[in-house]
Amino acid sequence: MTGSASIYSLAEGSHAKAESATWAQFSSPSSTAEFCASWLAILCAQVDRVNGALVLLGSGQDGSYSPVAVWPDQSHNLVHLGPTAETALKERRGVVNVAAATEALAAATLVGYPIEVDGQLHGAVVLDIKPRPDTEVQRVLRQLHWGSAWLIDQFRQQLMAQLQHRSARLGLANELVATALQEDRLGASTLALANELAARLGCERVGVGLEKDGNIVVAAISHTASFDARSDFVRLMGDAMEEVLDLDLAIVHPALDADAVGGLAHAELSAARSGASIMSVPLMDDSERVGVLTLERVRAKPFEREDLELCKTVGLLLGPILALKQRDERSLRQRAAQALRAAAAAWFGPRYPGLKLATLVSLLVVVFLSVASMTYRVSAKTVIEGSVQRAAVAPFQGYVADSFVRAGDSVKQGQTLARLDDRELKLERARWAAEAEQMNRRYRQAAAGQDRAGMAVAAAQEDQAQAQLALVEERLERATLKAPFDGIVVVGDLSQLLGSPVEQGKVLFEVAPLDAYRVILNVDERDVAELGLGQRGELALAGIPYERLAFTVRQITPISTPQDGRNYFRVEAQLEQASVRLRPGMEGVGKVEVGQRKLIWIWTHTLVEWLRLSTWRWLG
């Protein structure tokens, strides 16, 4: 009995030490695998009669998961737990499978549970437990559910640490961008950037090189205000930078991976610096390489992949800034040369097929326009007028008595247009008629008395009265305004002026014929030199836009009229055949054919002439 108790006490002590070690690993793990192994051991200690257990972890992006912890030890074969783990991962819920006894395995119950953090699968836990009632299986599933909270918390802590690390890196990148922007000049900006990078990344030396005519020129070296570009160190650093430019990739020496490119120039620079660790990344402006960053550390502190990714990001952020500063400091000659090189690269290089196609099409269009000809036509605003336009004016000062027509009415020859008030004229006619009769009686009396002098005076007075009477009769006849010919009233409306006074000579109506028209074109002064007598053209009016009326130029007046800030010349033309729908006053657009011209001249002569005139005026 004493021996058995001693053995039991030793076993219990050994179990306590193992459990204490497990809890120690669980509270302060050195890796995710150690945390999962200690957590799985504690879980299996809490669950009775566990044959084996497995923790699978993976990114879940490619659907691959691998075991990171096995209980009781790595030698235990747990391949049969795979289907249960796959089901738990696929369905994203706890699953229970009952495995029947086989020749190799005893009957068992398999319990699987997925590890999911914020909707993302991280893995699964599978337990192989001995058969038991359903209530106890449910209790095991609950324990597994509660225990998985430790794994979820661990993964969340890892995610938070990654986010914090990423935020710190982004903050460093933003500070470097601010350092590059705070200096106006390119040289000061590159030097400040090199100093900041050396201090923040723990580098012995940082160099900034800028691309110039396909080569790299070392622009700044950290903590060095000036340096000799012909020195061996600067030459080796420039060779390393050009190696990055030639290979079009970032280079780390010693290489991070066995199959990564280390670079011969970087190896030479490292050897010259006592085996220092060298890293170079390109400075990118969109897809164009504008420079290179080269960083140097001591051999004992080599560059890691995180440093490489950070510097690549910095290269993408700083590239456009340095390229902009470099472009701002170029001379006019350099800018012109750069523009020509860029255009030549775009037109003759392997890229930009769309630009090449557009250039070819444009060239073909220009050649076609330079060869092809067509009839050039001068356009002008046009108005239709009657060939004869007669005015009806007030014959004397008086008042409007009646008005029978207005603008737009058709009239016949002799038709009354309006009538002026003639009451005063009738009274004056009666007065002069009486005066003439009285003078006639005086003449007869003088003749009866043989008074020759009286006869002469009476005869003269009678002739005067008859003349005045004839004048009044003529004025009475002219008080009625009549149409001079068949036509249309184009101006005049006295219907609202009845009883109003009118002055002698005032135009009351204008009448134009309906069978004879002339075309008036207001031609711009820039085009009037192209016109000549006898040229033909076509006219489209707003009232009849679908009918083209042919005309011939008959007269070009040498007097211009300003309108809308431009000068226009009056050109008269004769219609070859008038339409029955024409009316005086209609407006439209007329085009005069002036001859054959090249298409390119037709479309560009206005601009070319304006440029020539403006140049002549500016040159003085």
Per residue in 502-514, pLDDT tens? 788 788 777 777 7
- Do 307 and 340 lie in one domain? The reply is no
Give how many domains the chain has, as a whole number.
5
Write the pLDDT tens digit of every residue in 535-569: 999 999 988 888 888 999 999 988 888 888 889 99
Tell me phi and psi for residue 126, to 5 degrees. Answer: -130, 130
- pLDDT above 90 covers a percentage of the chain that reads 5
Distance between CA atoms of 568 and 566, rounded to whole angstroms? 7
Same domain, 80 and 141: yes
pLDDT at 448: 82
Residue 271 lies in a domain: yes
Strand spans (E) along 213-341: 215-221, 251-253, 277-285, 288-297
Which pLDDT score, from 0 to 100, does residue 10 have?
42
Q: Are residues 28 and 99 in the same domain?
A: yes
589 and 477 both lie in a single domain = no
The whole-number pLDDT of residue 11 equals 43
Rounded CA-CA distance 73/538 in Å is 104
Q: Which of 472, 492, 509 is the last residue in one of the domains? A: 509
Has residue 405 been placed in a domain?
Answer: yes
Q: At what angle do helices 423-448 and 452-478 cross, to 10 degrees?
A: 160
**Spans of the chain below 70 pLDDT:** 1-22, 24-28, 59-63, 99-106, 258-262, 515, 620
Residues 277 and 413 in one domain: no
Token pair of 613 as six digits: 């005139």
Q: Tens of pLDDT along 58-106?
A: 765 556 788 878 877 777 777 777 788 788 878 888 888 776 655 555 6
**How far is Cα of residue 96 from the mean position of the Cα atoms in its chain?**
60
Q: Are residues 503 and 551 in the same domain?
A: no
Alpha helices for 372-451 (secondary structure H): 423-448
Looking at the structure, tell me whether residues 222 and 129 fall in a common domain: no
CATH number for the domain harbouring residue 544: 2.40.30.170
| Long-range Cβ contacts of 237-240 (<8 Å, 24+ apart) | 237/207, 237/209, 237/269, 237/294, 238/209, 239/265, 239/268, 239/269, 240/265, 240/266, 240/268, 240/269, 240/278, 240/280, 240/294
In a domain, 383, yes or no: no
- Give the DSSP letter of residue 274: T
Distance between CA 516 and CA 434 in Å, rounded?
Answer: 49
What one-character-per-residue DSSP string does 448-483 give? HTT-HHHHHHHHHHHHHHHHHHHHHHHHHHHTEEE-
Residue 313 within a domain: yes
Q: Which residue has the tokens 């002549």?
A: 616
The residues, any chain, with a CB within 8 Å of residue 121's CB and separated by 6 or more, are 60, 89, 92, 114, 115
Residues in contact with 468: Cβ distance below 8 Å, sequence separation at least 6, in sequence order: 432, 435
Supply the pTM of this predicted model. Answer: 0.44
R_g over Cα of the chain: 55
Do 438 and 566 lie in a common domain? no
CA dihedral 271, 273, 274, 279 (to 10 degrees): -70
DSSP letter at 596 equals E
Show the domain range for 310.
Answer: 182-329
Whether residue 403 is contained in a domain is answered as yes
Q: Does residue 354 sit in the same domain as residue 401?
A: no
Tell whether 452 is covered by a domain: yes
> Is residue 282 in some structural domain?
yes
- Cβ contacts of residue 439 below 8 Å, gap of 6+? 458, 459, 461, 462, 464, 465
Query: What CA–CA distances, in Å, run from 594 to 83, 292, 572, 600?
Result: 92, 65, 16, 16
Structure tokens that stand for 558 in this block:
């040498």
Q: Sheet containing 108-117: which strands, arranged edge to edge?
A: 66-71, 50-57, 120-129, 108-117, 95-99
Cα distance between residue 365 and residue 156, in whole Å: 65
Tell whether 487 and 566 lie within a shared domain: no
| Spatial distance between the Cα atoms of 151 and 36, rounded to a whole number of angstroms | 7
Asked whether residue 92 falls in the same domain as residue 126, the answer is yes
Query: Could you tell me the CATH number of the domain that includes residue 214?
Result: 3.30.450.40
pLDDT at position 101: 54
* 550 within 8 A of 573, measured Cβ to Cβ: no
pLDDT for res 223:
86
Q: What are the DSSP calls for 68-137, one per residue?
A: EEEES-TTS--GGGHHHHHHHHHHTS-EEEEEPP-SSS--EEEEEEEEEETTEEEEEEEEEE----HHHH
Q: How many CB atoms lie within 10 A of CB 188?
A: 13
Domain end residue (candidates: 463, 478, 509): 509
Pair 188, 321 in one domain: yes
Residue 171 is assigned to a structural domain of this protein = no
Which residue, of 485, 509, 533, is where some domain finishes?
Answer: 509
